[in-house]
Amino acid sequence: MKTVSVHTGTKYDITVKNGVLDETGAYLRALTEARTAVIITDDIVDRLYAERAEKSLQAADFQTLKFVFPNGERSKNIHTYTAILEFLAQNRVTRTDCIVALGGGVVGDMAGFAAATYQRGIDFIQVPTTLLACVDSSVGGKTAIDLTAGKNLAGAFYQPRAVLCDPETLSTLSDRLFSDGMAEVIKYGVIFDRAFFDFLCENEAKENLETVIETCVQLKRNVVEQDEKDRGLRGLLNFGHTLGHAVEGCSDFSVSHGSAVAIGMVLAARGAYLTGRTQADCTEPLLKILRKYDLPTATEYSAEQLLARALSDKKRDGGSITLVIPKNLGECVLQKVSTDALLPFIEKGLGQCM
Ligand SMILES: NC(=O)c1ccc[n+]([C@@H]2O[C@H](COP(=O)([O-])OP(=O)(O)OC[C@H]3O[C@@H](n4cnc5c(N)ncnc54)[C@H](O)[C@@H]3O)[C@@H](O)[C@H]2O)c1
Ligand SMILES: [Zn+2]
């Protein structure tokens, strides 16, 4: 068992422990005298894990309610969000009750936003069941829903009271979903921690899930504690994301987020080296580890197509875009790249000769 404490505005612990799903009730009871715990989950996770969470909550003297919505990003919208709020109100859930977000990042983001806004905020805990949710979305307090104009456009910073990660629940993930989460895991190694990167190269992440999740959570925690509201340092976590989002967008989201981030990391590393923005060429080790974890490393989209998408990204700042550049494996910096310099950067990133 591993515990990581997060000291943001609200302090909370992240517990990484095999089987902790069956202790959800006991962990929550230690935090609250709430009468009712509302499980919010999607249909797939409902079938797999909701009953165990429910039983454990009832054993700890909670009345339970459950709201289930169809799985997938398409549910992360204002309609599901409103339906959750109406469900809470119709069931007379009070501000002293509690929400349990059981599922992947979609559940966590949406249940978190509902918790942040229902009666101006009620307690919630995260019980992440995808690798991405364990290492990324459940940590840091960003909650959101998508709007028609784009992803995560409405949301709030709202910290959970606790995060309970049960690595055993990841055993039911498809290989694709596991690899997607691995893109974010590898990202942490490149940004912050060379030794962790090497560990992932030399070992199988699947066989070391507690350690892998704990390390990622600690690394994200360190950044979030210093920059809770995402005004600077937290931008480092976007390594591979600006160009990754461009790939995702060009594919009309048929390329998964993790795959797009994998490609984005390669473009950023190679582009940074070949345009002389860094002395270290991290491309080869990156290609090797991404292949090991069954992630793509190249895209068929042209530099012009990617540029157009990148420039429509919300992180654009006047005449420049901030990119995360590896100074070395395990150490990244934020660097402004003028929009004029972005096309050659992407061309070099794609490995195109000019
Ligand atoms: N808040 C943040 O800081 C943050 C960070 C990164 C990503 N996100 C958000 O997270 C979302 C992506 O998260 P995700 O990849 O977990 O997606 P997801 O929640 O849609 O889960 C992916 C799929 O896996 C299924 N699933 C979940 N747990 C399972 C399990 N244990 N076994 C089998 N299937 C399971 C789900 O039903 C779903 O179909 C995006 O909406 C993204 O914007 C948020
Ligand atoms: Zn990501």
Contact 38, 97 (CB under 8 A): yes
What CATH number did the domain enclosing 32 receive? Answer: 3.40.50.1970
Statement to judge: residues 167 and 183 lie in one domain: no
Residue type, 100: V
Statement to judge: residues 39 and 101 lie in one domain: yes
Higher pLDDT, 352 or 9: 9
What is the pTM assigned to this prediction? 0.96
Statement to judge: residues 182 and 331 lie in one domain: yes
Statement to judge: residues 307 and 186 lie in one domain: yes
Per-residue pLDDT reduced to its tens digit, 185-199:
999 999 999 999 999
Asked whether 105 lines ligand 1 (CB < 6 A), one says yes
Statement to judge: residues 94 and 188 lie in one domain: no
Give the ligand with the smallest distance to the CA of 184: 2
Asked whether 72 lines ligand 1 (CB < 6 A), one says yes
Statement to judge: residues 94 and 151 lie in one domain: yes
Residue 231: what are its φ and ψ, rounded to 5°? -110, 0
Domain of 280 in residue numbering reads as: 178-349
Q: Which of 118, 138, 172 is the last residue of a domain?
A: 172
Q: How far is the CA of 255 from the centre of ligand 2 (A)?
A: 13
Mean pLDDT of the chain: 96
What CATH number did the domain enclosing 184 receive? Answer: 1.20.1090.10
Percent with pLDDT over 70 in the chain: 98
Ligand 1 binding pocket mutation candidate from 18, 44, 52, 74 (most atoms within 8 A of CB) = 44
Q: Which of 172, 196, 226 is the last residue of a domain?
A: 172
Asked if the structure places residue 354 within a domain, the reply is no
Statement to judge: residues 334 and 193 lie in one domain: yes
Statement to judge: residues 78 and 123 lie in one domain: yes
Statement to judge: residues 73 and 219 lie in one domain: no
Q: Which of 172, 189, 206 is the last residue of a domain?
A: 172
State the average pLDDT over residues 321-350: 95
Give the pairing of strands 320-328 and 11-16. Answer: unpaired
Asked whether 249 lines ligand 1 (CB < 6 A), one says no
Asked if the structure places residue 93 within a domain, the reply is yes
Statement to judge: residues 234 and 264 lie in one domain: yes
Statement to judge: residues 185 and 305 lie in one domain: yes
Report whether pLDDT(249) > 70: yes
Of 250, 244, 241, 274, the C-alpha closest to 348 is: 274
Q: Count how many domains the chain has.
A: 2
Which residues, in sequence order, are CB contacts of 278 under 8 Å at separation 6+?
272, 325, 326, 327, 328
Confidence of residue 139 (pLDDT cuts 50, 70, 90): very high
Q: Quick one: pLDDT at residue 266?
A: 98
Per-residue pLDDT reduced to its tens digit, 92-136:
999 999 999 999 999 999 999 999 999 999 999 999 999 999 999
Report whether pLDDT(313) > 90: no
Per-residue pLDDT reduced to its tens digit, 195-239:
999 999 999 999 999 999 999 999 999 999 999 898 889 999 999
Per-residue pLDDT reduced to its tens digit, 7-39:
998 899 999 999 999 999 999 999 999 999 999
Give the ligand with the smallest distance to the CA of 220: 1
Statement to judge: residues 31 and 69 lie in one domain: yes
